[in-house]
Amino acid sequence: MAKLYFYYASMNAGKSTNLLQADFNYRERGMETMLFTAVLDDRFARGTITSRIGLEAPATPFDATTDIAACVADRLAERPLACVLVDEAQFLSAGQVAQLARICDAMDVPVLAYGLRTDFQGRLFEGSARLLAIADTLVEIKSVCVCGRKATMNLRVDTQGRAIAEGAQTEIGGNDRYIALCRRHFAEALEA
């Protein structure tokens, strides 16, 4: 029975690197995979999963209107798939997470979804909330705060490095816009 996995972490924990390593492992053994990434993530090349350490692979871009299950069914009609891998899974809708579950349950293809758990205000993303609710396996990828504790929060900062507490939930950025912190340092930064 195929399973739905959710690998979650704060920023800069290596989620995309882990995804690309898993993809490599399948492909090295001659197994076909299908990769998806959010259209919103335009930090690198659109339709490409790119890690900060330089690994990359082409992926099918998804937005709120993408029927991921239909894309996978179309591919399965052509050839077998060993695994579906989804980067930036926090940007999935609840309906798309249900599609991922259907890919596992009805098509018998495992799905590995990677994404942030919470936004810069400590609130769950829609896709992450649904994955936390229905995934068969939850795996936290560890990141480290400046104090050495586990980083679980994503602090959004302005160009001077000051904490931002309000704004749109989604603002794409990297180290120039976000800092991964433990809960204590996150709260302290917002109070400053």
Query: What positions carry a catalytic annotation?
Result: 88
Say if CB 38 and CB 62 are below 8 A apart.
yes
Long-range contacts of 159-166 (CB under 8 A, 24+ apart): 162/192, 163/189, 163/190, 163/192, 164/120, 165/121, 165/190, 166/121
DSSP 8-state symbol, 172: -
Integer Cα distance of 135 and 117 in angstroms: 13
Residue linked to tokens 């399965």: 76
